Structure 1
Amino acid sequence: MNRTLLGALGALVLVAIGLFWWQGRAIEAPGPPPPEPAPTAEPKQPDVLPSADVADMRGPALPEAIEMSKEQKRFARYDRNNDSIITRNEMLSTRVNSFRKLDKDGNNLLTFEEWAVTTVDKFDKADANGNGQLNAAEFATTRSPTKPRKPRCNC
């Protein structure tokens, strides 16, 4: 008996919530359009351009350039719409050119072959005898060039 009563009460509560939600989303009918403004007589334009003495006048001050830190410059590069928030699309937009370079057939789908094209090209260039295998000497040619180290200051 209690379960039936609680079930009926719960159903009534849900129906009431549904009705309030449905009425809250009702669209109001638009009212009549506003009246059109009365036409006014246009003032006659003078034939002579106005002049003013601007000898002692000063315009507004020019904006000053702000020195930004390295991190602020980096943030500004990503924040395309200058709303001080970087969205996912803004963050990924810097990678579009790199993606387009890899997507050889231009279908916006990156296959494994397209993704690995640089590695495949590097392998083919290093495989001097063309047998599809790299020996130690051939593999050594695939190493990235190292940057010369700067000597540490021993002050």
Structure 2
Amino acid sequence: MARILAGVAAFFLLLTGVFLIWQGHAEEPTMAPAPNPRLAAIPGPIRLSAIPAAPEADAKSKEEKRFARADKDENGRISLAELVEPRRKAFAKLDLNQDGKLSFEEWAVRTIDKFEGADADDSNWLTPAEYAATAPKPARKKPACSC
């Protein structure tokens, strides 16, 4: 009896599917007409405004700019004092006994202190992460405004 009911149900499902396929008609897509081209409405040739001249590049070369930074009094010459002055603070930090001479020991003390400060696990070698800590800090950029 269950087979007969299953067969009747299958027959009605099949009949329903055939009816839906027979009644279903796909509509053809309708396309809107193409818009009129805007340029065709403008009579005559198109006039464009002139392109302004490009700004001139800085004529100074890289070496000329570097020379100008070192020439503090802007007289066209670099004296020994002008060349040495920017390095005076860095030298004074390394010259521990302030004798005006930098010995190997003075340089080594600073280097050893830097190494020991970076060696966080006291293993007497630096891992990549510890070595990265020895990189000089980037200079802070001044804000463009005082806000």
TM-score range relative to shorter protein? 0.3 to 0.5
Normalized against structure 1, the TM-score is what? Answer: 0.35
Structure that is richer in helix per residue? 2
Scaled by the length of structure 2, the TM-score of the pair is 0.36
